[in-house]
Amino acid sequence: MTRFSANLGFLWADRPLPGAIRAAAAAGFDAVECHWPHDTPPDAIAAALADTGLAMLGMNTRRGRPGENGLSALPGREAEARAEIDATIAYARAIGAGAIHVMAGVADGPAADAAFRASLAHACDSAPELTVLIEPLNPRDAPGCFLRGSDQAAALIGALGRPNLKLMFDCYHLQIVDGDITRRLRDMAGIIGHVQVAAVPDRGAPDHGELDYRHICAVLDDIGWTRPVGAEYRPPGDTDASLGWMATLGR
């Protein structure tokens, strides 16, 4: 039976994060994850997690300036990228999060590749107890993003050789960029650190569109995936009214 994590960047996004955590618990989620909690005092997050018994699976480094979508692959911004990584590690430790997603940013070329590798090595070595995630993003939602596909991400993970560096396997992004989701899940199982789901192409609830998540959940069971899968979709209105998919996929 697939378990699910509520991504609070999109679900109950109209509420302060502590309230969203409590709403996720009431809805029956097994864990939570978030995008950028940095402006919420970490003790408020930790208290909500303690009250509900939910684990915070992960959070992102900050995006930087408008349109940058991350700093870690930006040549000339290495010091700023490291500072953001360090701040995210400190926040993750304060709330007991298990992972950080190091956002690459809008960049290209050898200098960007070198900057990203240095940022990732710093993150992995600074927090060996955390999983450091990298996520390919599709060009429609994130034009110009440095990390553009799962093969590129797998090559980086292999080259850096850090055991805590893993792939964020976002089925929504990777269906748009790569396709062949079943084979990629099987082939990349050893380097996947987190899985996320949403309908393609509208990024709605995972109960319609071109991906059959009943099949994908069965594949995840087959490859031995036991951790909660992140529900990172955009509800069309009230989050609670959008949760019917949970009965079909996981309950």
Residue 48 near residue 21 (C-beta atoms within 8 A): yes
Q: Which of 33, 78, 135, 210 is catalytic?
A: 135
Question: What count of other Cβ atoms lies within 10 Å of the Cβ of residue 224?
Answer: 7
The CA-to-CA distance between both ends of the chain, in Å, stands at: 7
210 in catalytic set: no
Q: How far is CA 156 from CA 38, 70, 82, 101, 144, in A?
A: 27, 17, 18, 15, 18
Rounded (10°) CA dihedral 57, 35, 85, 121 = 60
33 in catalytic set: no
Residue 232 burial (C-beta neighbours within 10 Å; 0-12, 13-18, 19+): buried
For 114, residues 6+ apart whose C-beta sits below 8 A from its C-beta are 75
For residues 182 and 63, what is the distance between their CA atoms, to the nearest angstrom? Answer: 30
SS3 of residue 215 by DSSP = helix
Which residues are marked as active site?
Answer: 135, 232
